[in-house]
Chains A and B, each alone.
Chain A
Amino acid sequence: AQSVAQPEDQVNVAEGNPLTVKCTYSVSGNPYLFWYVQYPNRGLQFLLKYITGDNLVKGSYGFEAEFNKSQTSFHLKKPSALVSDSALYFCAVRASGYSSASKIIFGSGTRLSIRP
């Protein structure tokens, strides 16, 4: 069965400092991995995804994520945090393959708080 774990409910970072939001996954076969961000009372916005190839994936708003197969992790990173990055972040996984179920499995979310 597919699963995603986001071990931190909340991450607090000072503006200008680097940030990391952690994610580990479990899936049969090769994973497709996603990060989404959710602002209050809004739907989810796509940030980036890993399909194959380069382990470092770059996405929207200066975010990037590193796929680590041996550690089954896909941590989200940004070199310099902005107050506007404060939001709820979700990691998600889907097993690869056409016959796989189309649904994405989401983690429980990590609230990122950037203090000025």
Chain B
Amino acid sequence: DTGVSQDPRHKITKRGQNVTFRCDPISEHNRLYWYRQTLGQGPEFLTYFQNEAQLEKSRLLSDRFSAERPKGSFSTLEIQRTEQGDSAMYLCASSSQARTGSETQYFGPGTRLLVL
């Protein structure tokens, strides 16, 4: 399978715990994105990487959130001191950069987080 993969698919944690999610993009894609989707809503942009550089972060990404892409391949998203409001589906997407920005983003299956 050459699509975007995410691990784990589901995560249940207690409030205050730290969690880390992993995303493996399509191998030739140099751009990687993280989105958050809550029930009944469309995905909301969190951050994106071009190779290993994190080029943009949303205001949604509080200080408790951090994302890395150390070697320009897989990425991790960590949430520290989780809160019940962090419960959501976390989606990863990747794309191959096009000069005009017209590239398609391909999404992984998502990690569903439930904070108790």
Contacts and interface: CB of A to CB of B under 8 A. Distances in A.
Interface of A: 4, 32, 34, 36, 41-46, 49, 51, 90, 92, 94-98, 100-109
B102 A96 contact: yes
B43 A44 contact: yes
Interface stretch (B13-21, B67-75, B104-112): B104-112
A42 B107 CA distance: 9
Given A43-B110, A102-B48, A103-B48, A90 B42 contact: yes
Given A43-B91, A49-B104, A51-B102, A102 B56 contact: yes
B101 A109 contact: no
Nearest to A101: B56
A43 B42 contact: no
A109 B89 CA distance: 15
B104 A96 contact: no
27 contacts: A34-B104, A41-B110, A42-B109, A42-B110, A43-B4, A43-B6, A43-B91, A44-B107, A46-B106, A46-B107, A49-B104, A51-B100, A95-B101, A98-B100, A98-B101, A101-B56, A102-B48, A102-B50, A103-B33, A103-B48, A103-B56, A104-B45, A106-B44, A107-B42, A108-B40, A108-B41, A109-B41
